[in-house]
Structure 1
């Protein structure tokens, strides 16, 4: 995992995902975001690859940016092309994907737990989840850290 900071786009996988978004026509971009969430939520209890998880976190950051209280995505590693308004049905999928990222058998969590930056990384991802949950009128719940 080529990672240079704790931001949602501060790794090679997320930056590549954003490049993939830029390569698509605008109307197809929400579909790629949905695919990232489904790739993660469809793993069940299987081992979750860090690349799939990193793409899902980046996709969730894009969804959260369009939610009330969401932070705008301003990093140079995010998509260069503007995203269309994303469908609100992506929000519950984003929450499910982030819950899976924090679930058992998640390589991304294991990798962050091996660093001194694991706590701040978790806080950032949990903030995304909270923003998205508030926008879906669903309780944020407790994620076992």
Structure 2
């Protein structure tokens, strides 16, 4: 998988994911985001302790989580030329918890994408800070006022 920067969409897998989103109708985009997150958590939304997570699956999960977090109060907008060109509809609120589970799986030791970044920029580099920002936006939206939105 080609990676050229620390952003959530700065890798081949995330660019392909963005293209997939742009190619489907607006009504199908939430399904594509949900599917990307489910692949990372093992399909049932509850297994964050499974085997090592494939790098491409992890990279796509991070991109999907960024799209979910973007719609949270205080979430950072996805400002990448590699992100989806077409706007996403309002994503269902339950994707916030699924996005957190996916980030748990991406962040655990043994996750291919995480381990690459630990080797590249340490435990507190820009990629890890970006993941922490996503987690913070998602957590605040889940536990804060209007959490059911």
Question: When the two structures are superposed, what TM-score results if normalisation uses the length of structure 2?
Answer: 0.88
What CA distance in whole angstroms lies between the structure 1 residues aligned with 2:122 and 2:82? 20
1:90 matched to 2:95? The reply is: yes
> Which residue does the alignment assign to 1:20?
20
1:124 matched to 2:130? The reply is: yes
What CA distance in whole angstroms lies between the structure 2 residues aligned with 1:112 and 1:73? 20
- Tell me the secondary structure at the aligned position of residue 90 of structure 2: coil
What CA distance in whole angstroms lies between the structure 2 residues aligned with 1:9 and 1:127? 15
1:112 matched to 2:113? The reply is: no
> Which residue does the alignment assign to 2:3?
3
Aligned length: 138
4+ residue runs of structure 1 moved beyond 6 angstroms?
none
Spell out the pairing of 1:73-84 with structure 2 (5 A cutoff): 73-84=78-89
CA shift at 1:99, angstroms?
0.5
For structure 1, the 5+ residue unaligned runs are 139-145
For structure 2, the 5+ residue unaligned runs are 145-149
Tell me if the contact between 1:36 and 1:52 (Cα under 8 Å) persists in the aligned partners: yes
> Which residue does the alignment assign to 2:53?
48
1:135 matched to 2:144? The reply is: no
> Which residue does the alignment assign to 2:147?
none
- Tell me the secondary structure at the aligned position of residue 28 of structure 1: helix
Question: When the two structures are superposed, what TM-score results if normalisation uses the length of structure 1?
Answer: 0.90
- Tell me the secondary structure at the aligned position of residue 115 of structure 1: helix
> Which residue does the alignment assign to 1:69?
74
